[in-house]
Amino acid sequence: MYAFAAIMGLVSAWSAISVIPASAARAEITYWFWKDNPDDNTIANLAAKFEKETGIHVNLMSDVTYDEFFSFLVNSIAAGTAPCAAELTSTYIGPLINAGVLEPLNDRIAAWPGRSAVTPSLWSYVVGPDGKTQYAMPNKFLMFYLYYRKDIFKAAGVAVPKTQQEFVDAAKALAASAPGKQFAFNLRAGNGGWDQWAAFLVAGGAKFIDDSGKVVLNSPEALKSNQLYLSTYAWAPPGTINMASGGQIVQELEAGTTAMAIHHLGTAKALKLGPDKIGVAPIPSLTGDPATSTYLGFMNMNGVFAFCKNKDAAFKWVSYLTEANAQLEIAKGLDGYLPVVDSVARDPHFAGDQYFQASLQMAAHAVLAWPPIPGTTAVPVAFPPALQAALLKKASGDSVVQAVAKALSGKR
């Protein structure tokens, strides 16, 4: 359970926070982040290089998992023990912006020499609800796409789906090819799965908010796409209703228990099967044409806190992580993210990587992210029980969309 009580009290807590003191030499900051792969030492190596080049020492904290990170960060802000800078995501940045604890970075970004090297469209991920204030530096991002078993599709005589109706038809045909043994798609209905669900709805034409900031998720496009998505539960593997781990879905894909999965580049790092068995394709969309489709992207970004005494040093560090040399190391790392710098994305190292290239191809089209509003943080709590209730026929399918829309709106 996320620390919603702490989030609700964040604004008042901020007024009582003690300013984090600078070191005597003004050359030390604290930076918190999480590791998807505990063996990935990329950031530690970059911090050592950064200190050698700048003289600024970065105290790193990466002991908290992603699932616990935001609650830990919010509680530390309330206690006055937060870092100068931290890794953030679109899912969790909204309450921090709302509480006024993040430092606006517009002036620093405008003066930063590396600004033009960042893929222009990616700056939109770090802008707040006002559409102009930049609260973070782009760092690494992901695109959600469709993984599928080439051999299973071929054996069943099923074509890779392009539209969402074709996706449902393919799921039915794949399950029918070996009843009781072959399953089509896992919805991940336990604690997780909101990103996969949202990726499908966005490709179906859904939007989270309109230009005025009003939540518009409960639209005809979203409701139709949601019903198609839920209908595939009829051909999902046993245990789907409680499935909470992306790793388990990867295992099912490798074992051939399921023939399709929606996930991102990080999954490719865990796959042991080669491209002869595993294929990737854009998430089936409303039109089936990537040129006219919108896809869900997800940004990991770095923010600087307003109470940090060494803001210049903190910005120097988070901007360093967005420079080309650091981006290349991050993209090569075990966690498997996309770089935010165009020149790195074109590096020959990634030329033969089908997963990397598929991500870039989708990112080249229209991309939508979870909005940086406080309500987004409530989605991980609201989504699982709503989806499970709908799958068990205890609630309507539309109630899933309605529950997420309610959470986004900040309603209880």
**Chain segment 274-331, per-residue pLDDT in tens:** 888 999 999 999 999 999 999 999 999 999 999 999 999 999 999 999 999 999 999 9
User: Hey, what's the torsion of the CAs at 12, 66, 263, 186, to 10 degrees?
Assistant: -90
Per-residue model confidence (pLDDT) at position 236: 94
Instruction: Write the pLDDT tens digit of every residue in 73-132.
Output: 999 999 999 999 999 998 889 999 999 999 999 999 999 999 999 988 899 899 999 889
The band of 412, judged by pLDDT with boundaries at 50, 70 and 90, is low
Per-residue model confidence (pLDDT) at position 180: 87
| Three-state SS annotation for 173-234 | HHHHCCCCCCEEECCCCCCCCHHHHHHHHHHCCCCCECCCCCECCCCHHHHHHHHHHHHHHH
Is residue 410 within 8 A of residue 374, CB to CB? The reply is yes
**This prediction's pTM:** 0.88
**pLDDT > 50? residue 22:** no
Q: What is the DSSP letter of 382?
A: H
**pLDDT > 50? residue 13:** no
| 3-class DSSP assignment, residue 40 | coil
Q: Which domains does the chain have, with CATH numbers?
A: 4-142+297-368 (3.40.190.10), 145-282+373-408 (3.40.190.10)
The band of 353, judged by pLDDT with boundaries at 50, 70 and 90, is confident
Locate 23 and state its tokens.
């070191």
Q: How far apart are CA 336 and CA 140, in angstroms?
A: 9
Per-residue model confidence (pLDDT) at position 112: 97
Per-residue model confidence (pLDDT) at position 191: 77
Q: How far apart are CA 35 and CA 41, in angstroms?
A: 9
Is residue 310 within 8 A of residue 84, CB to CB? The reply is yes
**pLDDT > 70? residue 268:** yes
